[in-house]
A = this chain, B = another copy of it.
C-alpha cells in the first residue's frame, strides 16, 4: 500500500519534513494535493477526516495529522529510527523542539496574525525578527549542535531542512550563526549527499523555497 501525503501543493512548509523522510527512504507515496484537482481533493479529505490542518497522512485505514506525529509513526517503518521506545521518544523530543523553532520562524513574518498580510504587520515583524536572530537562532542551533544524535535518523533530515530554510530566509544572520555550529553543518553536508535525497533535491518534486512558505526571505528582516 502506498502512503498518501496531504499537504499544500505549492510550498515546502511543514509537509517538507515528511517528504524528506519518504524520499530518503525510497518509500512509495503519493503527494495527493500535487496531482489533478489536488487541492480540492485535499480539502475534501480534510473535511471527511475532520482534520485541523495539513499535513496529514493516510496509510490504509489510518489517517493521522501533526508533522511530528506522522514522522514518529513513519520513521521505524521507513528504517529512519530504531524501534525501541526510549530512543523513539528521545528522537520525538528533538522533532518537537524543531517544531517549536518552526512556529517561531513562521511568526517572524507573521507576529500578529496569519490572517493578515505581511505588509500589514511589517513593523512588528522587524521587531520580532531582530530578537529572533539575536536570541533564538543561537539558542536553538546551539542546542541542536550539543545534542546531535549519534545514529542516523529522520531527525537529521529535519535538521538539514532547518539549516536550508534558515539560510534561505536569513542568509546574513546565518553566516554569523553558523560559525558556532560546525557539527550541525557537517551533518547538513553529509545529508545533502545521500543518494536518494540528492536525487530528490535535484528533481522537480522538490519545490523551491518561496514567499508563501514558512521560511521567507525579506531582506529588511535579515539583520
Contacts and interface: CB of A to CB of B under 8 A. Distances in A.
Contact of A96 (B62, B68, B113, B128): B68
A65 interface: yes
Contact of A66 (B52, B66, B96, B147): B96
Given A112-B128, A124-B111, A131-B112, A66 B93 contact: yes
- Tell me the number of copies of this protein: 2
Contacts of A96: 66, 68-69
Interface residues of A, number: 35
A50 interface: yes
Contacts of A124: 111-112, 124, 127
A107 interface: yes
A170 B1 CA distance: 47
Contacts of A73: 85, 89
A52 B115 contact: no
A92 B68 CA distance: 10
Closest 3 CB pairs of A and B: A113-B131, A66-B96, A66-B93
Given A50-B146, A69-B89, 7 more contacts: A64-B89, A64-B90, A66-B92, A66-B96, A107-B111, A111-B124, A113-B132
